[in-house]
Amino acid sequence: MPLGLGRRKKAPPLVENEEAEPGRGGLGVGEPGPLGGGGAGGPQMGLPPPPALRPRLVFHTQLAHGSPTGRIEGFTNVKELYGKIAEAFRLPTAEVMFCTLNTHKVDMDKLLGGQIGLEDFIFAHVKGQRKEVEVFKSEDALGLTITDNGAGYAFIKRIKEGSVIDHIHLISVGDMIEAINGQSLLGCRHYEVARLLKELPRGRTFTLKLTEPRKAFDMISQRSAGGRPGSGPQLGTGRGTLRLRSRGPATVEDLPSAFEEKAIEKVDDLLESYMGIRDTELAATMVELGKDKRNPDELAEALDERLGDFAFPDEFVFDVWGAIGDAKVGRY
C-alpha cells in the first residue's frame, strides 16, 4: 500500500544501538540536608527552592572473561559507560567491544542496548583474538544479522542455520567486523555494514577481518548461532530502567508495558527482515514515535524527521505501522 506522503530527509538518526549486560547495582539516592526555618523541611522564606536532586545510580560490573567486581556511575550514554568500565579496570576504552546483562556469556538476547535495569549486573566483553577469513559468496544472502555497540563497533548478532557463514566455523556470533576487503568499518553503523555485505557480488571471494571477544575458560569451545528469532530482549528485573540517550541526560523510567515490549519485538523482527540488523533501542524509538500516530503517513513523516538517514522504504514503514497496531489490540 503506497504512502501518500512526499517524504523528505531531515535530521540524522539520534538513536544509537548500544549493547551491554545490566548487573545488580545499588541505588543510592541523595537526600537533602535539613533546612532551617521552613518547618517540616520546607525552604526558608525568601530563598529559592533547592534544585531537584538526581538519584545516584551505581552499577556493578565485571569483565566477561573474569575479573574482580567494579562499581561504575555517572554515565549518560553508551560511550561514557564504556569509558567508566575502562577506567574501573584500567583498560583503553577502545578495548571494550560490547556488554551483556546478568551473564558473562556471549548471549545476544542479553546485549546492553539503550536500557539498563536498575538492579542489572553489567559484564563487559573486551577484544580477544584477531582473525582474517576468506568467504566465497555462493548465495545472495550470507545469513548474517548485524548489530552495533553504539560506539563505533559493528558485530555479528546472529548466524542463520545452514547459511553460507554457518559453514565457516572460524566466524562466530559476537565477532566484531573490523574490515571488508581491507576497507575499515570502525565507526560504521550496523545498517551500513549490512548494506556493504549485501552489495558484495555473488560468485566472488571476499575477505573479512574480525576480532572475537576474549573468552572465559568455560566459553572457549562455544559457538552460538545467536538469539532465537522472536525471543525478545530480556530487560532487568529491577524496579525500573536507566534509559541511555545519544543526546541529553539519561533518565530513569518504568519498565516497558506489555504492549511496548511486544511492539518492540515485532519491529525488531522487521528490521532484521528488511535490513539485516537487530537494534532494540532503534525499535523502541520507532514504537515511541508511532504509538500515537493516526495513520502510516504520520508515522512516515515522524521517522523521516527523526531517523532520516536510515531511508526506510514505504513498505517497511507500512509494516511497522501494522505491527504497532497489532500489538495495541493484542494480536501477537
- Parallel, antiparallel, or unpaired: how do β-strands 59-63 and 122-136 relate? parallel
Residue ranges in the chain whose pLDDT is less than 70: 1-55, 217-239, 243, 245-255, 332
CATH for the stretch 58-214: 2.30.42.10
How far is residue 149's CA from residue 154's CA, in Å, rounded to a whole number? 7
How far is residue 188's CA from residue 84's CA, in Å, rounded to a whole number? 22
pTM: 0.69
pLDDT for 331 equals: 77
How far is residue 81's CA from residue 21's CA, in Å, rounded to a whole number? 11
- Assess contact for 25 and 59: CB atoms under 8 A: yes
Domain boundaries, the chain: 58-214, 256-329
pLDDT for 2 equals: 47
Phi, psi torsion values for 264, nearest 5 degrees? -60, -45
Query: For 326, which DSSP code?
Result: H
Let me know the angle formed at the C-alpha of 152 by 147 and 156, rounded to the nearest 5 degrees: 25
- CA nearest neighbour of 16 among 299, 219, 244, 277: 244
* Interval 294-327: pLDDT, tens: 899 999 999 999 888 888 889 999 999 999 999 8
Joined together, the cell numbers standing for residue 39 give 518547618
How far is residue 153's CA from residue 175's CA, in Å, rounded to a whole number? 10
pLDDT for 199 equals: 94
- Assess contact for 233 and 113: CB atoms under 8 A: yes
Let me know the angle formed at the C-alpha of 168 by 219 and 64, rounded to the nearest 5 degrees: 20
Residue 330, CA distances (Å) to 21, 44, 230, 291 in order? 29, 52, 16, 14
- Assess contact for 215 and 222: CB atoms under 8 A: yes
How far is residue 102's CA from residue 84's CA, in Å, rounded to a whole number? 18
